């Protein structure tokens, strides 16, 4: 048996029940596919009054403490992966960031306490945006939070609240840097660029193309999440990143090389945000120590994979 098969057999044997919030999102879909392949019995939660419930799917508005208690009590999961969040920085109601990202997370943790259930691990997705405008090409977990928008501020506030639970629940906070892949909506930059090259559009409108981001492949991110669930780590915060930043200008060049297509770049002032972080690149050193078996995927490979879809 290889390591993956052994892990899968173990999960199947002990019927590992894993609850994933935000299951219908981009990350959720990829993570659930991985977890099922590893033998987890996954319960997905989805928002929305009209969402259909099945034995493996529950309706959950995480801003409702009652609904959180009901789902935790019914499922009694071994693992919780909390992905549900408002994650689009340009979302139009600032208060939603705090209702969902801070209070929703609190409701989930409080529900565990209220129904007397302690999971083996709770993995909570924060964001590298909490670091703000840091002038460093290798931000590690010791850097202070300095958020510059409501999304980042809500995640920083959520982290502070979650740390007060470290002595009560085995929690791991992950701070993913930017990541992308097939299935991400074109409101995000890399899928927008991929879409323009794939349909051989004559031009593209973008904001500042010299901002640099540490872009990961979603397949690497969810492998890291799954490995962290199985690790001994708890009461910790860990970056999920590659350590290799790329500017949008470099990504445009790369996509042009892969497709043989050139497009004109129009800078639209409406897309240039004053609060844009100029360079955001993380240090993956702690992640590599925790789960050395998880290897990053080169960004050119990710771009080729997306363009081939």
User: Tokens 């904001």 label which residue?
Assistant: 207
**Residue 177 and residue 282 in contact, taking contact as beta carbons nearer than 8 Å:** yes
Tokens representing 95 are 């208060």
CA–CA separation, 122 and 90 (whole Å):
28
Across 119-144, b (16+ Cβ under 10 Å) vs e yields bebbbbbbbbbbbbebeeebbebebe
**Residue 181 and residue 309 in contact, taking contact as beta carbons nearer than 8 Å:** no
Which of 79, 131, 151, 220 is an active site residue? 151
> Shortest CA distance to 280 belongs to which of 148, 110, 96, 172?
148
**Residue 111 and residue 51 in contact, taking contact as beta carbons nearer than 8 Å:** no
> Shortest CA distance to 103 belongs to which of 79, 67, 78?
67
DSSP assignments along 33-98, one per residue? HHHHHTT-EEEEEE-STTPPPBTTEEE--TT-HHHHHHHHHHH--SEEEE------TT-S-HHHHH
**Residue 299 and residue 246 in contact, taking contact as beta carbons nearer than 8 Å:** yes
Q: Which residues pair with 160 in a beta bridge?
A: none
Angle 189-198/299-307 helices, nearest 10 degrees? 50
151 is annotated as an active-site residue: yes
> Shortest CA distance to 29 belongs to which of 76, 83, 104, 79?
83
Q: Which residues contact 55 (CB under 8 A, 6 or more apart)?
A: none
State the catalytic residues.
151
């Amino acid at each position: 048996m290889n390591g993956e098969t052994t892990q899968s057999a173990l999960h199947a044997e002990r019927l590992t029940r894993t609850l994933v919030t935000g299951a219908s999102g981009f990350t959720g879909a990829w993570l659930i596919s991985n977890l099922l392949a590893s033998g987890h019995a996954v319960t997905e939660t989805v928002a929305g009054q009209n969402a259909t419930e099945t034995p493996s799917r529950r309706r959950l508005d995480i801003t409702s403490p009652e609904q959180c208690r009901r789902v935790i009590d019914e499922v009694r999961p071994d693992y919780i992966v909390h992905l549900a969040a408002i994650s689009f920085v340009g979302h139009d109601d600032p208060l939603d960031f705090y209702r969902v990202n801070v209070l929703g997370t609190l409701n989930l943790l409080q529900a565990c306490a209220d129904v007397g259930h302690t999971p083996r691990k709770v993995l909570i997705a924060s964001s590298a945006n909490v670091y703000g405008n840091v002038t460093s090409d290798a931000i590690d977990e010791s850097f202070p939070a300095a958020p510059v928008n409501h999304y980042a501020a809500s995640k920083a506030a959520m982290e502070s609240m979650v740390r007060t639970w470290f002595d009560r629940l085995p929690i791991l906070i992950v701070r993913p840097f930017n990541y992308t892949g097939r299935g991400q909506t074109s409101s995000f930059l890399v899928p927008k660029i991929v879409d323009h090259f794939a349909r051989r559009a004559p031009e593209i409108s973008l904001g500042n193309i010299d901002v640099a981001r540490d872009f990961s492949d979603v397949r690497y991110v969810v492998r890291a999440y799954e490995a962290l669930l199985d690790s001994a780590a708890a009461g910790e915060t860990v970056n999920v990143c590659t350590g290799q930043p790329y500017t949008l200008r470099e990504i445009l060049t790369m996509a042009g090389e892969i497709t043989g297509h050139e497009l004109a770049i129009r800078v639209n002032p409406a897309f240039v945000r004053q609060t844009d972080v100029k360079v955001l690149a993380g240090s993956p050193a702690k992640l590599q120590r925790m789960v050395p078996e998880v290897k990053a995927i080169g960004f050119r490979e990710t771009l080729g994979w997306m363009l081939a879809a």
